[in-house]
Amino acid sequence: MGLWIELTYLAASVLFILGLKGLSHPETARRGMILAEVGMLLAIVGTLLHREIISYEWIIAGLIIGSLIGGAISIWVPMTAMPQRTALSHAFGALAASLVGVSEYYRHGTGELGTFKMTALSLEVLLGGITVTGSLMAFVKLQDWIRGTPITYRGQNVFNMSLFIVTVGMFGYLIYDPSVHVLFYVMAGLAFVFGVLLVLPIGAADMPVVMSLMNSYAGLAAAATGFAISNNVLIIAGTLDGFSGFILSILMCRAMNRSITNVLFGAFGAEVEASSAGAFGVMREVKAEDIAVQLAYAGQVTFVPGYGMATAQAQHAVRELANVLEARGVTVKYAIHPVAGRMPGHMNVLLAEANVPYSSLYDLEQINPEFSSTDVAVVIGANDVVNPDARDNPKSAIAGMPILDVDKARSVVVLKRGKGKGFAGIENPLFFKSNTGMLYGDAKASLIKLTEAVQHA
């Protein structure tokens, strides 16, 4: 019997890898996911035959409740809330891993745990605990239940570091002597506290990095579970998840020209901006009708969406405007910055929801050379990712961050809620340029107005 279970796990591992390989192209992605689903089903059925299981009532109850909750969330969650859902799912995954860890310790903790198993168990509970509360903090910030700006206090980094060192110290001692029960539970508790403290000082604009990191930790916690209960499919799936999150965090950091340390401990966007060169002049406010004329007679229009498009739920309105423009023979493209939005790929999913074909979505490297031949660039609720200061002003707080070169377009239209600064509190010289027009108001309302105006142009 044991052999059959192991074989289902082997098959599941292979299918998971094939499934992820499918994600290298949108055409093959769905088929890949079906393979992964089959793998998961095999592994679950195999596990149900495990000889240590003596009754099924709790398993079945958990499977049913979990399926109902998971299914309900995934059917009803709006695409704009995808970052929140993902944060929650990291928390659930990590919760499962840390609970299995606690249960294993509770069961074996009287000295029969070897050094290796104890290391794996402690890592599992540590990473799991940090991820549960860290992701919940991210969820609360994304959901706007607490303000998204960094929450800082004097001596924060020192306090966090000391707590971290104490926790790691406990971890070390437990490996040396696993039988100190109190220490294990205190360590688990501290891991939960540390997760909150870690995410507290991180601003909402840095969420793509936090999401990726939590993704990585949740995976590594699952891999540690695999080591603790000697289960290879868990090691493989957890490692794949862990590395995926790790790669994404590196990509996100690179897209902001920041190090992970800086994101985690820099409390970016909290300090009052002092380095910008002061006022740049006046912002030119334009009327929707004037922009509509420009758009209607343009050769190429490039939309640059940011988080503002998500908050205004404006993706469908963008698509409507694009439809009208395309019907008039205008070439429409979409420029997607890697950290636009609150999680990796956020903007792509929203535009896909609005039926924008993915062949019109362009990455930073693809679209940047094209801005000089773009007639109108329409910036929808994006700010820092189009700030020319990042490229031109070495003193800027975001100096060196790769940006979309919208300022090179013949004219720029910025759809913005109000005259205030962007999220990071940094002045944006783009808004003061002579060829930039500002259209204030809710992005969705502005786009609808533009669409009507273009139809009459």
Partner 1 sequence: MSTEVIIAGLYVFALAAFLGYQVISRVPPLLHTPLMSATNAISGISLVGSIVTAGAHYNTVSTWLGFIAVTASTINVVGGFMITDRMLRMFKRQPALKKNSAQEQERT
Positions in 110-169 near partner 1 (CB under 8 A): 114, 116-117
Report residue 305: phi and psi, to 5°. -85, 150
Minimal distance, residue 155 CB to partner 1, in Å: 34
* Residue 416 contacts residue 386 (beta carbons within 8 Å): no
Helix/strand/coil (H, E, C) string of 338-366?
Answer: CCCCCCCCHHHHHHHHCCCCHHHEEEHHH
Question: Of 39-47, 149-157, 382-390, 426-434, which part binds partner 1 (CB under 8 A)?
Answer: 39-47
Q: Figure out which of the listed residues 336, 386, 401, 404 binds partner 1, where binding follows CB under 8 A.
A: 336
Region 416-435 residues binding partner 1, contact defined as CB under 8 A: none
Q: Is 384 a catalytic residue?
A: yes
Rounded to the nearest 10 degrees, how much is the dihedral formed by the CA atoms of 88, 93, 95, 98? Answer: -150
Whether 404 contacts 368, CB under 8 Å: yes
For residue 430, give both structure tokens: 């783009």
Query: CB–CB of 325/454 below 8 Å?
Result: yes
Catalytic-labelled residue, pool 206, 384, 389, 407: 384
| Binding span for partner 1 by CB under 8 A among 16-24, 273-281, 389-397, 399-407 | 16-24
Cβ(398)–Cβ(426) under 8 Å? yes
Binders of partner 1 among residues 300 to 329 (CB under 8 A) are 313, 316, 319-320, 323
Q: How far apart are alpha carbons 217 and 252 in whole angstroms?
A: 16
Q: Does 373 bind partner 1 (CB under 8 A)?
A: no
Give the other-Cβ count within 10 Å of 406's Cβ. Answer: 28
- Give the nearer residue to partner 1 in terms of CB position, either 293 or 354: 354
Stretch that binds partner 1, among 18-26, 162-170, 187-195, 419-427 (CB under 8 A): 18-26
Question: Scanning the structure block, which residue is given the tokens 């919940």?
Answer: 136
Is 446 an interacting residue with respect to partner 1 (CB under 8 A)?
Answer: no
Question: Which 341-360 positions form the footprint of partner 1 (CB under 8 A)?
Answer: 343-346, 348-349, 352-355, 357-359
Nearer to partner 1, 319 or 433 (CB): 319
Show contacts with partner 1 in window 48-77 (CB under 8 A).
Answer: 48, 50, 52-56, 58-59, 61-63, 65-67, 69-71, 73-75, 77
Among 1, 2, 3, 25, binds partner 1 (CB under 8 A): 25
Among 198, 240, 450, 453, binds partner 1 (CB under 8 A): 240
Q: Is 21 in the site for partner 1 (CB under 8 A)?
A: yes
User: Pick from 131, 225, 300, 451: which binds partner 1 (CB under 8 A)?
Assistant: 225
Residues of span 78-97 touching partner 1 by CB under 8 A: 79, 82, 85-86, 89-90, 92-93, 95-97
DSSP string, 155-208: THHHHHHHHHHHHHHHHHHHHH-TT-HHHHHHHHHHHHHHHHHHHTT--GGGHH
CA-to-CA distance for 406 and 371, rounded, in angstroms?
A: 6
Closer to partner 1 by Cβ: residue 43 or 151: 43
CB of 103 to partner 1, least distance (A): 4
Backbone angles phi, psi at 344, to 5 degrees: -55, 130
Please identify, among the stretches 158-166, 214-222, 391-399, 445-453, the one whose residues bind partner 1 according to the rule CB under 8 A.
214-222
The answer to whether residue 100 forms part of the interface with partner 1 (CB under 8 A) is yes
Three-class SS of residue 416? strand
Q: How far is CA 373 from CA 403, 412, 437, in A?
A: 17, 12, 18
Q: Which residues are part of the catalytic machinery? A: 384
